[in-house]
Structure 1
Amino acid sequence: MSEFLQEISEPVAAARGVRLLLWRDDLVHPALPGNKARKLKYNLVAAREQGHHTLLTFGGAYSNHLAALATAGRLFGLRTIGLVRGDAPDASGLAQLNPTLARAAADGMELHYLDRSTYRRRAEPDFIAGLSARFGPAYVLPEGGTNALALPGCAELVTEIRQQTEFDALAVAVGTGGTLAGLLTGLAGWQQAIGVAALKNGGFLRAEIDALTQQASGQIFTNYTLQTDYHFGGYARHSAGLLAFIEEFRGRHGVLLDPIYTGKLLFGVLDLIEHGYFARGSTVVAIHTGGLQAWAGWQQRFGKG
């Protein structure tokens, strides 16, 4: 078996006759791990083709996407600008950069802060034009790095997994929907995909996913489900039960999950297995999409991890 594909032996899976595997996308690109690198791949190609030397994007203060884009800028010699939702650190130094933003700044990202009402305008053409006037020409990436060009990089993951194993379903955490949409274009109607929404009331993401696949491939796929019951209170919310599950999973399998995406994913997948969602004899591959940099900020905020 590949170094990136790990057998997950769980009693509930054995009892239901389901083979559970974990694809370790967090290990594939050591400097730029997980799905964020896949989303950036063809966007970086487009930026170069269009002659851009600056990348500009948006994100919250603990955004995996901001961290990944900053690293990409350092690796490929590009200027990066991050527009952060929220207040700037106190000029007196009483409020320090959190670990995510500190890492982004160390990688050379210029950080600017937007209040929440201004941040909500981030997709408006007039607002984008104003940013160009302020910062100069830039290749603009949306929050989370999700656009049509993010999908081909995620679709390549399907091929990589197929080269290692046959499977009946792929399962992935869902934030903006870009990774799941990319997987669907790679599956091209074959096998099932399961998305586990990391945010509360995530049903709206189905329309987002369908719009992305329509834009990228001209198709809307029906071979997927969106599971919305494993958000643990909402995006970046948690419970003692979720943290205990993550710690127990690490103890059993030697794999650290994150509390925002992959912890909820594996909890959800095992619960679905227990309730007979997958047919006996199925092989299910859950995808570890990285995001482990979030733990530093998590520990700062909650003193846990």
Structure 2
Amino acid sequence: MHQLESDFLAEHRVQLFLKRDDLIHPEVSGNKWRKLELNITKAQEFDLPILTFGGAYSNHIAATAAACHHRGIACIGMIRGEEHDGLNPTLSLASKLGMQLHFISREEYGYKAEEAYIRQLKDNLGAFHLVPEGGANFLGVMGCTSIIKELPKPFDILCVAGGTGTTAAGMLLGLKANQRLELYPALKGGEFLQKSIAQLLEYSLFEEMAVNETLENLIIVSDYHFGGYAKINAELVDFTQHFFNEYSVPLDLIYTSKMMFGLFDRISKGLYNKGTSIIAVHTGGLQGNEGFKSRKGITLNF
């Protein structure tokens, strides 16, 4: 973790630190490893492959393939959408690392959380340890509690980007009463994550009152999705490049860039008290930038 310093931050008298979880591993970086570690350990205990779900450009799919490869465990990826000639960079990497890819229709993908569908997959593919899309299960939440434990200094506000709310749920479990977590959804209409996080917290807290008290520390900042998941524009691309030029930190366009754009915008509007200490978590996912390069020709110079 290191402090970001610039004239902009000095002017607004905000202390901003970046927790560089993107540096955990070159292929399984950030919250991806935290959500997978305990799941992989459990799968190994029962000598089972892992099965998970994701889109064609999913950071989660790439990270799962890499983590399973390094831990010597088989894995299966259920990929949303039809198979095309030639795999994109994400799926090519996953396949190279040993993930068995199965392409399913968007309609079938919608059943991914249904018990009957999971039983059908086990009948067809054999026994497996299920890791939901984005690692959104109890073990994923528990893995993310370590983020708080690793913070070396006190803080007022913690910021993280999110898609399923799993990372945020784990982080909320470690917050003190006077601290708050700002969650920046990468999806349009991200307010729904409040309910998703509540459901994930129930795995650990059991009582509705305890869940509600924990959620009091959560603020969902839903104004910086740029049109939805994996939606970007020239302004976000320019910000991402400028951020690297200023702070020497690469961001991914799907998650962390949207979070940092939103955070800097809120700082510029004076929404934080002078002297506020903020820690933003870089959750990795830089391989997602390759998808924009292959699909839209967007190249970032870092």
Give the TM-score normalised by the residue count of structure 1: 0.93
Give the conservation status (yes or no) of the 8 Å contact 1:66–1:82.
yes
- In structure 1, the residue corresponding to 2:174 is in which secondary structure? helix
Within 2, Cα distance between the matches of 1:283 and 1:206? 24
Give 2:75's aligned residue.
Answer: 80
Provide the residue aligned with 1:24 in structure 2. Answer: 20
Residue equivalent to 2:131: 141
Secondary structure (helix, strand or coil) at the match of 1:186 reads coil
User: What is the letter of the counterpart of residue 231 of structure 1?
Assistant: H
Is contact 2:44-2:73 (8 Å) kept?
A: no
Residue 64 of structure 1 corresponds to 59
Q: Is the 8 A contact 1:12 1:273 kept in 2?
A: no
In 1: Cα distance, 2:264 partner to 2:6 partner: 8
1:1-305 matches, within 5 Å, as 5-49=1-45, 51-89=46-84, 95-161=85-151, 164-187=152-175, 189-218=177-206, 219-220=210-211, 221=214, 222-305=216-299
Q: Deviations over 1:248-274 (max 9, x none)?
A: 000011111010000001001111112
Within 1, Cα distance between the matches of 2:231 and 2:69? Answer: 31
Deviates more, 1:221-230 or 1:207-216: 207-216
CA distance in 2, matches of 1:230, 1:216: 30
Provide, for residues 103-161 of structure 1, a one-character-per-residue CA deviation record: whole Å limited to 9, x for no partner.
00000000010101111011111100000011100001111111111112111111111
Q: Deviations over 1:10-29 (max 9, x none)?
A: 33322221101111000123
Superposed displacement of residue 188, structure 1: 5.0
SS at match of 2:56: coil
Where do 5+ consecutive residues of structure 2 fail to align? none
Distance across 2 between alignment mates of 1:210 and 1:155: 15
Tell me the SS of whatever aligns to 2:2: strand
Q: Matched residue of 1:194: which SS? A: strand
Query: d(CA) in 1 for partners of 2:274 and 2:236?
Result: 27
Deviation at 1:211, TM superposition (A): 1.4
Contact 2:40-2:68 within 8 A present in 1 as well: no
**Letter paired with 1:197:** P
Cα drift, residue 80 of structure 1 = 0.5
Give the whole-Å Cα distance in 1 for the aligned partners of 2:156 and 2:66.
34
* C-alpha displacement of 1:73: 1.4
User: What SS does the corresponding residue of 1:268 show, helix, strand or coil?
Assistant: helix
Look up the equivalent residue of 1:26 and give its one-letter code.
D
Q: 1:136 to 1:189 in 2, by over 3 A?
A: farther
Partner Cα separation in structure 2 for residue 186 and residue 113 of structure 1: 38
Q: Conserved in 2, the CA contact under 8 Å of 1:155 and 1:187? A: no
Q: Given the two structures, how large is their TM-score scaled by the length of structure 2?
A: 0.94
CA contact (8 A) 1:12 1:270 kept: no
Change (3 A) 1:44 1:217: farther
- C-alpha distance after superposition, 1:214-245 (max 9, x if no partner): 22233321111000000011100001000000
Corresponding residue pairs, total: 293
